[in-house]
Structure 1
Amino acid sequence: MSVALDSGRRRSALGGSATISDVAEAAGVSRQTVSNVLNAPHRVRPATRERVEQVVAELGYHPNRVARSLRASSPGMVGYRIHPVSTESVAAIHDRFLHALVEAGQAGNHHVMLFTAADTDDEGDRCVALCRTGAVSGVVLYDIAPQDSRPDRLLAAKVPFIAFGRTAVGTDRYSWVDIDNSAGTEAAVDHLVAAGHQRIGFLGWPEGSSVGDARARGWLAAMDRHGLLARSHRLDVRGPDSMSAGTRLMAELLSRPEPPSAVVAATDTLAVGALHALRDSGLRAGHDVAVTGFDDTAAATALGLSSVRQPIEEVGRLIMAALLGVTTGRADVEPFHRVLEPELVVRTSS
């Protein structure tokens, strides 16, 4: 039996390393079938095996030995880029998510392969390379920006993936799990209003972040719903997500002719900085000025900081379960979408 390869594909194979995806496409079979031909030929019908073997020979495909050894030690590998943590941050949300992802993966006989990347473009390239060499069967994306290029990059390369977060547009084309960040800051405002506060400030990130923008919208929506936006519109201040920025922004608010009696911070990192500013001004959190954070970090527990807690463990479980679906190669698997509600944990700071 002969298999005709178009000259363009032949030249591509000769000019660069052929991948298991190239072999599968040329032979008209799945990547799993190619893998079975190479590793468990007795599972494949003779005619199919012969066709795949001919394509392997013509393309000069050489299996990635490192990837094969990884697959031999684990039935499923999932790629994930680890992110550096700033010394100016108290955030542990990334660590919690990674732990939840690994735990959920082990329950489903999948394991997580960690890698680093210089930026999101580099991350996209590495995801494609890892998948094409067979080192991973899919990847998880984290910290999605409104105009993030990674989903389109991986969709075009046919790399199975799930995102924690979502872009501003095109979210129907890929699978994602997200937190209702707006609902989290709305809950914080509702709590402060119930405690009698009317001048409620907001410490947030500069515009352009999916998470930061959503948390800002929550503050705006709740303040407007309570009829407090007009008297608080000058109390919305933004800066980088660092403790020093939180201290500076809070000091700026305290210097206003009519300072806030309460502040909603977009992260625990900014909130801890705000607590430092209160201390430096001789004020007490929860007595003179109420403060809430977001992410419910270990620092929030230690400092008595009220904070919005994300259901990260559920996020990890849902992402791993959905990834098992998209890595099967089934054409009938629909994109998976889920938004989870966060919960405000009230402590002495508010």
Structure 2
Amino acid sequence: MNWSDSAATAFGVLLTIGLAGLVLVVMDFFGGPTREAEQPAQVVAGQGHRNRHWRTEQAGGQAQPKLRRLESKAEARARGQAAEAEAVAAELRARAGAAEAEALAAEAGILAAQAEALAAQARAQAEAAEAEALAAAARERARVRADAAEAEAEAAEARARGQVGQAEALAAAARERARVRAEAAEAEVEAAEARARAEAAEAEAVAAEARARAAAGEAEALAVEARAQADAAEAEAVAAAARARAAAGEAEAIAAQARERARERAKAAEAEALAAEARARAEAAEAEAVAAEARARAEAAEAEAVAAEARALAIRLRLEAEASGKPLRRPD
């Protein structure tokens, strides 16, 4: 019970006490004339009795005429009737005062009942106002909870979008690593082709060297033959020596070409080793990207579930707020 209920109850009690006091005062006021009317009636009755006794004594003591006795009797009868009428009038006045006092008491009771009804109505209005205030506070709390849940849902949705963006970034990085891996594979293919070309060049250099050696041996044989026949054909020997020198220069060029091809083959082997290392790194990066993408998908699914739960909570809170926001029925 709050202060408004206490005030209404105190007002009703005070009003009831005041009305009861008013009833007592009215009854006392109207009861006084009744007692005063009863006292003169008793006095008149006593006087009549004394008069009758006195007339009896006078009749016994003196011999009065019959007419005087009749007059005395008539006078006594008239006085008795007057006293009786006065008593009846006093009784009627007393009854009228009692009836009026009873009417005032009934009216006081009605006023007390009305005061109690007003106090009850005031209490009901105070309780209705308090209930309305509590309902408004409940609606405000429900609205605040709904707003908080909606903000949480928006934050969860933003986190989900961020995680989706992160997953897309990870997927883009994975695609970039796949592209690098494809380029590494292409470089490896090119290195294999270069290695095959180097091997072919090496085989060709070996064959050229063999041919050069054969040509050198042949030139040496020719030189020996030319020296043997120097006396007979010096010019032919000189020409043969020139041919031998030319063949030796060609053999040197073939050997230099073979060394160049060997260097290219070494470079190709080194490139192949680098390509294998790059391929291993690309495969590791791809595995890491796949794992990161799986984690991102799991986090995105979890964030989507959290967002769905937050949206469901916001909808439920909004429905509760709308249900609790119905206006209360005031008492009549």
Tell me which interval the TM-score lies in, with the shorter structure as reference length.
Answer: under 0.3
Higher relative contact order (CA 8 A, sep 6+): 2
Greater helix content: 2
Greater strand content: 1
When normalised by structure 1's length, the TM-score is 0.17
Which one has the largest radius of gyration?
2
When normalised by structure 2's length, the TM-score is 0.17
